[in-house]
A and B are shown apart, each in its own frame.
Chain A
């Protein structure tokens, strides 16, 4: 089974800190995604990547950046954390044209609180 692992389940950071959220997948998937999930707003795409060193903005990229130096790892960076970035962050991966894999496989999420 595909496994997507997010490094932290819960995280508390102070306003202004630089925050790294790590995501690793073990099935050689080309595509990786970062979403945030907020009550009443559903899952919103922050950034995604189709290949190593490639990245594309999603629907809400402001205040975030990403890094994909290796195929299996996709990092989300909050350059200067703010309280409105308190959220549940979900990482996901999929194969190219991955209909055979039934869409995405998600990690367990990181609940980030910025105080």
Chain B
């Protein structure tokens, strides 16, 4: 059974700080790892990672995958209050179209 573990479960930092969120996984026939941001409603897509060592970047957010050690990190630099959300990590495998999610990291940015 595929498994995704995220850490920390919650994190509170001050505006302007840099944060690193972690995601480790166990997947048979790994295909991809995805990061989502969830505020009050639907999760919204951030990144999809399929290859090790290639950083994906979007503004102040970046993410990288290590397929040997089976983990990914999501970095947010110069955090803002709008970054407050639950960040979800999920994986897919080549057997089907399902996403298996971690429990998420709740990030709170204090002004």
Q: Which residues of A are in contact with B by a Cβ distance under 8 Å? A: 4, 31, 33, 35, 40-45, 48, 50, 58, 90, 92, 94, 96-99, 102-109
Known: A42-B88, A90-B42, A103-B45. A96 touches B97 (CB 8 A): yes
Instruction: Give Cα distance in the complex from A99 to B44, angstroms.
Output: 15
Interface size on B, residues (CB 8 A): 22
Q: Do A102 and B45 touch (CB < 8 A)? A: yes
Can you sample 7 A-B contacts with CB below 8 Å? A4-B42, A33-B99, A40-B9, A43-B88, A50-B97, A90-B43, A103-B99
Contact B92 A42 (CB under 8 A): no
- B97 adjacent to A108 (CB under 8 Å): no
Query: Does B13 count as interface, using CB distance less than 8 angstroms?
Result: no
For the complex of A and B, the 4 pairs showing the least CB-CB separation, nearest first, are A106-B42, A42-B103, A43-B101, A108-B41
Write the residues of chain B forming the contact surface with A, with a CB cutoff of 8 angstroms. Answer: 9, 31-32, 34, 41-45, 48, 50, 88, 90, 92, 97-104
Inter-chain contacts of B102 with A (CB < 8 A): 42
Is B98 within 8 A of A48, CB to CB?
Answer: yes
Do A41 and B42 contact each other (CB < 8 Å), given the known contacts A48-B98, A98-B97? no
Report how far A18 CA is from B90 CA in the complex, Å: 31
By a CB distance below 8 angstroms, the chain A residues around B31 are 99
Q: Please, which residues of chain B bring their CB within 8 A of the CB of A106?
A: 42-44
A102–B42 alpha-carbon span in the complex (Å) = 15
**B103 contacts which chain A residues (CB < 8 A)?**
40-42
Chain A residues, CB < 8 A from B48:
99, 102-103
- Asked if A102 contacts B88 (CB within 8 A), the reply is no
In the complex, what's the smallest C-beta–C-beta distance from A95 to chain B, in angstroms? Answer: 9
A residues less than 8 Å from B98 (CB atoms) = 33, 45, 48, 58
B residues in contact with A35, CB < 8 Å: 101
CB distance from B82 to the nearest CB of A (A): 19
In the complex, how many angstroms separate the beta carbon of A30 from the nearest chain B beta carbon?
8
Q: Are B99 and A99 in contact (CB under 8 A)?
A: no
A94 touches B42 (CB 8 A): no
